[in-house]
Amino acid sequence: MAGIYLHIPFCKQACHYCDFHFSTLLQHRAPMIGALVRELELRADYLPEKKISSIYLGGGTPSLLDEAELHRLFDAIYRFFAVEEGAEITLEANPDDLSLYYLNMLAESPVNRLSIGIQSFREEDLRLMNRAHSAEEARKCLRMAREAGFESLTADLIYGLPGLTDADWVANLDQLLAMDLPHFSAYGLTVEPKTALHKMVRTGKVQVATDADQQRQFDLLMDMASARGYLHYEISNFAKPGKEAVHNSSYWHGAPYLGIGPSAHSFNGHSRQWNVANNARYLAALEKGEIPAEVEQLTPYDRFNERILTALRTSAGLSLSQLETDFGADWLQHLHAALGDVDAEWYQLQADRLVLTRAGRHFADRIASELFILADDDEPNA
Ligand code: SF4
């Protein structure tokens, strides 16, 4: 099981909260597509296995690509890799790009799943975030995506936005849940350094939600999603049974993936690497046939800590027997000892698995960090 991620590093405008890599200089798209194709070719042997079970076009804004650009990318993927029959092929899209004409074109392409960046159905939230779409476009595009034949749909919402009351959040969730999508994601707003939102907060222009506000809204989210039959299978992800995302699930289960494009990350089971987050430098390197990436060999500590971080975010939790097989009895013992410092209401030991409780899900990353082993810890031996 392996996946390919393509980073499309262009956006129409900068959302105020976003710290992903993108450029608004859309005129540089043509050379970028050429470079992405070249990178796909140069890295055809990166993955330990050639069979690809998921492809994800993310960004940036992949829905800015036209038919010819998408065709060039898929042509290269199918030329250099063995894409499994029925592989999940997702394209991230913004509502303002999704005309019925564009959706029909996508439905004819290899794309079989859309991830739509709704974020909110409230105009004031969309303005505050500097999103390029309106609330009406958000509502319309989900209906049209279905009309075009897309059954596999997911949408994102954000809670903890400045000024978003619990009632507003419930209304947003109501609208999304009424669409009965097979999958959706919901994220608590984080204020990242060097974003416009960070400056707005620092200068007192907006006030962000408190931890208590975010926790209440996360509770409302869990209650409402479960009442509608969604499985809360990862902290930020909800799916109808059997509709869990293949691509993201493979990240959480430690499967290898190839990341193509500026800022894209890759993992081949032993090392991690990340491409330069700069379009001009990426293009210049690929022109010379070079991959502009830094590589990090993962130590056993890195792999152990990452296993804990990702597994605890999932409803399946962490398999203790697998942890022992992969890292040894000393490491498992360390984990049991470290659990003594974690609030007993935040986790459960269910047979072979360590699983977070509902209360623990509020603190998943904090709990994981309590269980990490650092290279200079005395025990266990790596
Ligand atoms: S469209 Fe997505 S990637 Fe682009 S600025 Fe907005 S949040 Fe960031």
**Residue at token pair 């500026």:** 262
Q: How far is the CA of 20 from the centre of ligand 1 (A)?
A: 7
DSSP state of 153: E
Pocket flag, ligand 1, residue 189 (CB < 6 Å):
no
Same fold, 3-251 and 300-371: no
Burial degree of 216 (CB within 10 A; 0-12, 13-18, 19+): middle
Query: What pTM does this model have?
Result: 0.95
Atom of ligand 1 minimally distant from the CA of 129: 6
Q: Which helix (H) or strand (E) holds 191?
A: none
pLDDT in tens, the chain (382 residues): 899 999 999 999 999 999 999 999 998 899 999 999 999 999 999 999 889 999 999 999 999 999 999 999 999 999 999 999 999 999 999 999 999 999 999 999 999 999 999 999 999 999 999 999 999 999 999 999 999 999 999 999 999 999 999 999 999 999 999 999 999 999 999 999 999 999 999 999 999 899 999 999 999 999 999 999 999 999 999 999 999 999 999 898 889 999 999 999 999 988 999 999 999 999 999 999 999 999 999 999 999 999 999 999 999 999 999 999 999 999 999 999 999 999 999 999 998 999 999 999 999 999 999 999 887 765 565 4
Pocket flag, ligand 1, residue 18 (CB < 6 Å):
yes
Domain residue limits, the chain: 3-251, 300-371
Q: Show Cβ contacts of residue 205 under 8 Å, excluding neighbours closer than 6 positions.
A: 199
Atom of ligand 1 minimally distant from the CA of 13: 5
Pocket flag, ligand 1, residue 94 (CB < 6 Å):
yes
CATH number for the 300-371 domain, one of 1.10.1060, 3.10.450, 1.10.10, 1.20.1530?
Answer: 1.10.10
Instruction: Name the nearest CA neighbour of 353 among 311, 378, 318, 323.
Output: 318
Q: From atom 2 of ligand 1, which residue's Cα is the shortest distance away?
A: 60
Q: How far is the CA of 264 from the centre of ligand 1 (A)?
A: 15
Long-range contacts of 378-382 (CB under 8 A, 24+ apart): 379/330, 379/334, 380/328, 380/330, 380/331, 380/333, 380/334, 381/330, 382/299, 382/300, 382/301
Buried b (16+ CB within 10 A) or exposed e, 187-201: ebbebeeebebbebe
CATH number for the 3-251 domain, one of 3.40.30.10, 3.40.50.300, 3.80.30.20, 1.10.357.10?
Answer: 3.80.30.20
- Tokens read off for 362: 């509020």
Q: 65 to each of 141, 291, 328, how far by Cα in Å?
A: 17, 23, 48
Q: How far is the CA of 91 from the centre of ligand 1 (A)?
A: 14
Give the integer Cα–Cα distance in Å for 109 and 330: 50
